[in-house]
Chain A
């Protein structure tokens, strides 16, 4: 019985080792949203999904490589019918957590064109990055992402333009094309 309990504890450990790294408490944002997407994938689900990614398919292969070091992906995406439906105060519970010493903001941009704020934070353990937080707030949508584990951010950015994601062009280039 004891060995069974020990076995259960040992098998549960990997699941407990890489939980969500901050609380995605966005109830006030959710209350105002017209659409929302919640995705929570732990290591076991990611490993299971990886078995169904075709290494011979270029897109699948990229995803398979990308998720190799990931222990969990947690995404909350909210869409609003009108701009200004949410306020910065609604995002304060997330920002307050990211101000903790274990988080380090590596980049933040504000678009003068559409007022989109995008921030990327690294979760640090010593000098090692063990997770990423992405906070993207646009007038009509809010996206908060927590990726636990190690991920190549450049490869993640390169996925834009795949799976039906329109490739974002720099603002001035987009104007030139118009």
Chain B
């Protein structure tokens, strides 16, 4: 049994981490956190940009719609007048 005990003792022996291990772990953790932050910021920017683009498109669409309405309003008034005058003559 001595050999087994020796093996176990060797395997479970307390061993100090290599130099700079703690710093490397902390640095990796920090890198991970800042990378996640960067992704979050990028995602937020994409969401904001998509929202702004959607709002701009809606604004442009409403403006185009108002211009169509205005054009048709100006075009329909004389047509309506002609129709009414013709109706007035024929009645």
Contacts and interface: CB of A to CB of B under 8 A. Distances in A.
Q: How extensive is the interface on chain B, given as a class? A: 20 to 34
Contacts of B91: 170, 172
Contacts of B88: 170-173
A158 to B, nearest CB: 8
Interface string B30-73: 00000000000000000000000000001011101101111111
Interface of B: 58, 60-62, 64-65, 67-88, 91
B80 A52 contact: no
Interface of A: 37, 39, 41, 45-46, 48-49, 51-53, 63, 66-67, 73, 75, 77, 107, 109, 111, 116, 118, 120, 134, 136, 143, 145, 147, 153-154, 156-165, 167-173
A118 B76 CA distance: 12
A109 B68 contact: no
A120 B78 CA distance: 9
Nearest to B79: A157
Given A48-B61, A51-B61, A67 B68 contact: yes
A170 B75 contact: no
* 5 closest residue pairs by CB, A with B: A160-B80, A170-B88, A136-B78, A49-B64, A52-B61
A120 B82 contact: yes
Contact of A134 (B61, B73, B79): B79
A164 B77 CA distance: 11
Contacts of B65: 49, 52-53
B80 A75 contact: no
